[in-house]
Amino acid sequence: MDKSSAVPVKSGIQHTRSAVRLPRRARRWHEYVLAMMFLAPSILLFGIFLFYPLIKSVYLSVHSTTPRGEVAKFIGLRNFEKLFDSGHFLNSLWVTFEFMLFTVPTSIVLALILAAICRTHLRGTKLFRFIFSLPLAISVSTGSVIWMVLFHPTLGTLNYLLQAAGLPAVQWLTDPNWALISISIMTVWMNLGFLFILLLGGMEGVPEDIYESAKMDGAGPMRTFVQLTLPLISPTIFFASVTSMIGAFQSFGQIHILTKGGPMNSTNVLVYNLYQDAFVNFRFGSGSAQALVLFVLILILTIIQFKFGEKKVHYQ
């Protein structure tokens, strides 16, 4: 390593240059210090706002707490027992599951159909691509407020259209049988942009010559889609499903704005229930227990994704 012919030494380089010349062990040490320097901000922040809270959640969940958030006394697994004994929490688990069932398959199938059509070279697909990705710009609060107007029982457009078609009006947000469906409709609309973009990206990752050769072999668009596109982008579909499921588990804003968990707890999803318990009723212990249940559920989904998602990646 003869560097005598190296570029003229500028003052700024001098320090690091000398480091390169250090003996091997010292250089390793130098690199270690450097690495820690590069990593320090992230490690510090993760420590304070992620790992510490995770441990603190476990600690809080086995204690009863005062409304100020201070620990009152150790109560073991009582918080968890109470959760699973009360129909309230089980209901909210069930509602979350139903919500997932209403939103995830619907939005993925819709996004798949739209992405499949937009991938082809029909004229005008550029415009449609832009339109279909528009919901990406919607945040949960702007989306919720717009749909609140659409859902309005007497002045809203949805009921007007229903009645114009000769159908009875629906109490979208106040009928326990409809509220979760209404929230789901709004959520599918809101998530469609992201899923469309994701799946379209996956489809465009498939090399064009594969489609070309399928066409040459005389395969129609339907067959190409089912036998070629779907298996080839299965990793993307899988990724989209798992992130959507996790997203469904984390839903909060639309429920907080549109229904407040009601009517009759029919939209009281997990995170909303947690919010109520911890930040409205100030039961931080019970809230933490719920947070841990949520953590385990999402962990299971993530592990499934890693286990099966990785294996299924087959581009060619």
Partner 1 sequence: MRPNILRTGLAYLILAAAAILILFPFWTALSNSLMTESESATYPPKFFPTSLNLDNFANVLTAIPIIRFIVNSFLTSGIITVGNLITASMAAYAFAFLRFPGRKLLFALFMATMMIPWEVTVIPNYLTVRSWGWLDSYAGLTVPFLATAFGTFLMRQFFLQLPKELMEAARIDGCGHIRIFASLALPLAMPGLATLGVYSFLNHWNMYLWPLLITNTENMRTVQIGISMLQFAEMTAWNLVMAGIVLVLLPSLLMLAIGLGRLVGGLTTGALKG
Sites for partner 1 among residues 114-143 (CB under 8 A):
114, 117-118, 120, 122, 124-125, 128, 130-143
Nearer to partner 1, 230 or 292 (CB): 292
CB of 89 to partner 1, least distance (A): 15
Stretch that binds partner 1, among 39-47, 82-90, 166-174, 260-268 (CB under 8 A): 39-47
Interface characters, 209-248, with partner 1 (x: CB under 8 A): ------------x-------------xx--x------x--
Comparison of 94 and 279: residue with beta carbon closer to partner 1: 279
Minimum distance between the CB of residue 196 and partner 1, rounded to whole angstroms? 9
DSSP lists the bridge partners of residue 63 as: 74
Q: How far is the CB of 180 from partner 1 (least distance, A)?
A: 19
CB of 269 to partner 1, least distance (A): 11
Please count the residues of this chain forming the interface with partner 1, following the rule CB under 8 A: 109
Q: Identify whether the C-beta of residue 186 lies closer than 8 Å to the C-beta of residue 197.
A: no
Burial of 110 (0-12, 13-18, 19+ CB in 10 A): middle
Among 92, 107, 187, 202, binds partner 1 (CB under 8 A): 202
Binding residue (CB under 8 A) for partner 1 from 22, 26, 48, 167: 48
Start-to-end C-alpha separation, the chain: 42
The pairs formed by 135-139 with CB atoms below 8 angstroms and a separation of 24 or more are 135/189, 135/190, 135/191, 135/192, 135/193, 135/194, 136/193, 136/194, 136/197, 137/193, 138/190, 138/193, 139/253
Distances (CA, A) of 45 to 33, 39, 42, 216: 19, 10, 5, 55
Rounded Cα distance between 127 and 248, Å, is 29
In terms of CB distance, is 22 or 264 closer to partner 1?
22
Nearest to 64 by CA among 214, 289, 232: 289
Cα dihedral angle (30, 34, 35, 37), rounded to 10 degrees? 140
Site map 91..110 versus partner 1, x via CB under 8 A: -------------------x
Nearest distance from C-beta of residue 101 to partner 1, angstroms = 20
Among 22, 28, 66, 260, binds partner 1 (CB under 8 A): 28
Among 83, 95, 265, 287, interactor with partner 1 by CB under 8 A: 287
Instruction: Determine if 9 is a binding residue for partner 1 (CB under 8 A).
Output: yes
Q: Quick one: which of 26, 54, 72, 109 contacts partner 1 (CB under 8 A)?
A: 54
Touching partner 1, residues 145-164 (CB under 8 A): 145-150, 154-157, 160, 164
Question: Is-contact 110 192, C-beta < 8 A?
Answer: yes
Q: Which of 74, 84, 94, 295 binds partner 1 (CB under 8 A)?
A: 295
Interaction mask 255-284, partner 1, x per CB under 8 A:
-xx-------------x--xx--xx----x
CA 202 – CA 49 distance, rounded (Å): 34
Q: Which of 22, 77, 169, 299 binds partner 1 (CB under 8 A)?
A: 299
Consecutive H or E run containing 102? helix 87-119
| Distance from C-alpha of 269 to C-alpha of 261, rounded to nearest angstrom | 7
Residues in the chain: 316
